[in-house]
Amino acid sequence: MTSIHDRPVVTELRLSAFKSHRGASFGFGPITLLSGASGTGKSSVLEALAALGRLACGDGLDEVFGSAVRGGAAACVPQDAQPDAQGRRGFRIGCTVTGPVGPVRLDVAVQAEPTLRIVGERLTGAGETLLTTALRDPERRTVQAAWHTAGLVAVTRAPLPDDRLATALLPLRVAGRTDGQRLVLAAAEQMVVALRGVFPIAPRPELMRAPVPVGDGRLRASCDNLSAVLARTEGECGTRHAALVNAVRAVCSPPVEGITALRAAAGGEVAPGAVNVVSAACASGTSGGSVASGPVDSVIAAVDRGPLGLVPVDRLGDGELRFLALALVLLTGPGVLDVDTSTELLPASQVLTVLGDGLDHGLDRRQLGELLRLAGPAAERGHIRLLGTVQDAGFAEGLGGVSVTALGVPRPRRREDAVDQSG
């Protein structure tokens, strides 16, 4: 069985040249908060890690930087970066993943202008340079890759596409016949497994109020299908569902007796007599099929207010919906979240790195504290790692296991930095 210490996790992100960051590195613990005012580059850190996650899934540069990063690839280039003689500008990002192989480093250089392409990549670990790529011929849409072999020849060379992460392609190219090749495969797998577990979460309350098909049971980043996922988890795991109810009860307006899913009739209205019908169908494995009151096609979640009755989520405030979605993420795992984790490992052997940009948006201190309380046990078990951005991390004071990194803090002025004002 894989212990929590053997599960690959991202422990550092390096932004050598990315947006407003130059020569920056950020260490990550199980729960890490980046704090600072607007414009200090907090969101850029999460965007870079999310982009690496998408690249590890095999997505192309156009797809990744066309959707995962605000402003596209051109916006990733530091504003003060000057083009070279051929008019080329770009950016550099990298990360470290710790796991069974030890620390494995990945560094990627991307040309954004005039053509979007990866012009250099380096994978290192176990004291070896395991993979390098370089752009040899700008007229070709390939890079020259060389990976560690340690057999009759020291390295193996081959062309690889310049719009894909070479590390993610290695399992298709490396035979694994020598010790060196097996080390390359192990390091590449460690890197890819950790990065594929990155899950950016951005709850959008305006999309969470509509009924959704009952079979849509993998939570997306926007949480627009929250109701279907709640229907699924209510039927599948009573323990986690009870923990979710307790969390909502602790921070939302009372009374809160439970959370359930209701049948939604045509037009979105709540159908009469629908209480617990959906969760019963999910628990019996007949989602979308027929139960006592007929087929369940679409559902809407509701909070049981006890004597006040059931309140569908379309009547909840934005803050309550955001809290409900974030709490659900922290209480679930790879099988529930819409994240492309590795197919080579069991979900119990993988760690999800949840990215919460603007974690404190619309939430009060009590709700934020409860989210960290939920994240703590999941992080200790090695199921979840949380990286969030907030403007003020004061609510986390006194909470164990939480690391806070402040961005935008002025560097202490040294004597040699002082400007002579005498004359």
9-18, 287-296, 330-339, 406-415: range with highest mean pLDDT: 9-18
Tens-digit pLDDT profile for residues 277-292: 444 444 434 433 333 3
Class of domain 9-197+340-406: alpha beta
10 Å CB burial of residue 144 (0-12, 13-18, 19+) is middle
Beta strands of 58-127 (E only): which ranges?
89-99, 102-113, 117-125
* Domain range summary for the chain, segments of one domain joined by +: 9-197+340-406, 207-329
CA 353 to CA 378: how far, in whole Å? 11
Residue 275 has pLDDT above 50, yes or no: no
Tens-digit pLDDT profile for residues 329-338: 999 876 788 8
Q: What is the mean pLDDT of residues 209-214?
A: 94
Residue 270 has pLDDT above 90, yes or no: no
Mean pLDDT of the chain: 87
Q: Minimal CA–CA distance to 208: which of 331, 297, 301, 329?
A: 301
Residue 272 has pLDDT above 50, yes or no: no
Q: What is the pLDDT of residue 337?
A: 86
CA 191 to CA 101: how far, in whole Å? 10
Residue 354 has pLDDT above 60, yes or no: yes
Is the peptide bond between 114 and the residue preceding it cis, with omega within 30 degrees of 0?
yes
In a 13 Å sphere around the CA of 269, the CA atoms on its Cβ side amount to: 5
Tens-digit pLDDT profile for residues 298-328: 999 999 999 999 999 999 999 999 999 999 9
Residue 402 CB partners (closer than 8 Å, separation 6+): 29, 31, 32, 33, 372, 396
Q: Can you name the residues that pair with 158 across neighbouring β-strands?
A: 145
DSSP 115: S
Q: pTM for the whole thing?
A: 0.89
Q: What is the pLDDT of residue 290?
A: 33
CA 10 to CA 240: how far, in whole Å? 26
In a 13 Å sphere around the CA of 129, the CA atoms on its Cβ side amount to: 10
DSSP 414: P
Tell whether the torsion through CA atoms of 120, 123, 129 and 131 is positive or negative. negative
Residue 345 has pLDDT above 60, yes or no: no
Tens-digit pLDDT profile for residues 166-206: 999 999 999 999 999 999 999 999 999 999 999 999 999 99
Tens-digit pLDDT profile for residues 27-73: 999 999 999 999 999 999 999 999 999 999 999 999 999 877 999 99
